[in-house]
Copies of this chain bind each other. A is one copy, B any other.
Amino acid sequence: MKQSQLFSKTSRQVSADEVSINAKLLTQAGFIDKQMAGVYSYLPLGYKVFKKIEQIIREEMDVIGGEEMIMTALQPKELWEATGRWETTENIMYKCEDKNGPTVGLAWTHEEAVTAIAKRFISSYRDLPRSVYQLQTKFRNEPRAKSGILRTREFVMKDLYSFHANEADLDKYYEIVKQAYLKVFKRCGLKALVVEASGGAFTKKYSHEFQVITEAGEDYIVYCPVCGYAQNRDVAQAKAGESCPACGQEKLQEAKCVEVGNIFKLGTKFSESLKLYYTDEAGEPKPVVMASYGIGPGRVMGTIVEVHNDAAGIIWPAAVAPFAVHLLSLGESSEIVGQTVSLYNELTQKGVEVLYDDRTESAGVKLKDADLLGMPWRIVVSEKTANKYELKARASRTAELISHSELMNKFSVQ
């Protein structure tokens, strides 16, 4: 794409009320726009990143047998009253008057909705196990909205729900999802630790959070730097000394981190409240055993920026970058422009995603913008490069001058 045609532009300033690194950089680079506190639009460049993260999640959920569907934000009061969550979650659930009937709520999670739908289709042991997921917009009346896109009042969540005949079958699938989650975060360029957390009201077992260590985080974990074993601070304090890492290391460390995902055994809480029963092999009715598993692609995107940046801007991991290559022509001579346009066409035809800075801006502006936007590779064509090309990885300090054929080899596999 030609940068002169792009809807967004970079900006040097950013509103003083943005305090987080992710909001500052993403706003300056023209990736997001703040509609109000904790509510952000994703502009074309930002939405490219967002969709790549969604697609990575989708692929890994499909591999483990998840079927994609989409449920609704608007929710009826009576459904949530049946599980007791219409009142208990008063503080975070948005509610609207409806001219057609009782007050409606905006979903911040979908255990109620998915359980009610599953009642249409699950009635026998033959109908189990099942797993369904969605990438759907949720709402949360969130008072603390100071962390850019890490904590927002409107956000897409990938929520997967699984249904099982018994706990043993759930336990097996739970481990499969855990591994799928680690693949998702790895593909997104994040090192996530699997952290033991409280199971809450539903189960005596641990739930698990996926935490990425960064100063931007609001969570604290205790972990072993040798084997990676980790607990969140609450669990660590409650169980002090009880559960040492398997590696035998005794010197645990504490760190701030961002929770990028969680997996949670629900047991029979929702199936009993909403009467999702199945008939087992012996003809006996049994409540379905459930679990839910969440990842917020927006929070993943914000965490990537928090972890992968320097003083000059963002450094996108290749798998989620809006474009693989930022191509800059420095100088307006017809030779330079011609050489650049020709390279742009060649790379684009090979399927390489290229952002071509064709603007009539100074070299300084173009180089600064390239650093801010953070594409993995920068290619410069100028008088100085003669018939060669200056190639530089965004993450590296040094550039190299390479020939046309070397460049084509470099980007031969896409």
Q: A: which residues have CB within 8 A of B?
A: 5-9, 11, 30, 33, 35-44, 46-47, 50-51, 65, 67-76, 91, 94-101, 104, 106, 113, 117, 120-121, 130, 132, 137, 139, 141, 143, 145, 153-154
Contact = CB atoms under 8 A, between A and B. Distances in A.
The A interface, classified by DSSP as helix, strand, loop or mixed, is mixed
B35 A72 contact: yes
A117 B30 CA distance: 11
A96 to B, nearest CB: 4
A154 B121 contact: no
Contact of A154 (B43, B72, B99): B72
A46 B50 CA distance: 24
* 8 A-B pairs with the lowest CB-CB distances in the bound complex, closest first: A44-B67, A94-B96, A41-B71, A35-B72, A36-B76, A39-B74, A42-B70, A44-B69
B74 A117 contact: no
Given A47-B69, A113-B41, A74 B139 contact: yes
A97 B68 CA distance: 32
B69 A43 contact: yes
16 contacts: A5-B65, A9-B120, A11-B120, A30-B121, A33-B117, A35-B76, A42-B70, A44-B67, A47-B69, A72-B154, A73-B154, A74-B139, A74-B153, A95-B96, A95-B97, A100-B141
B75 A35 contact: yes
B8 A121 contact: yes
Q: Which of A30, A42, A100 has the most CB of B within 10 A?
A: A100
Given A44-B68, A67-B7, A99-B91, A36 B74 contact: yes
A132 to B, nearest CB: 5
Contacts of A106: 96
Nearest to A97: B95
A35 B74 contact: yes
Q: Which of A9, A73, A74 has the most CB of B within 10 A?
A: A74
Nearest to A5: B65
Contacts of A67: 6-7, 44
Given A8-B121, A9-B120, A43-B117, 14 more contacts: A7-B69, A7-B130, A35-B113, A37-B101, A41-B69, A41-B71, A46-B69, A47-B69, A47-B70, A73-B137, A74-B139, A74-B153, A94-B96, A100-B141
A143 B99 contact: yes
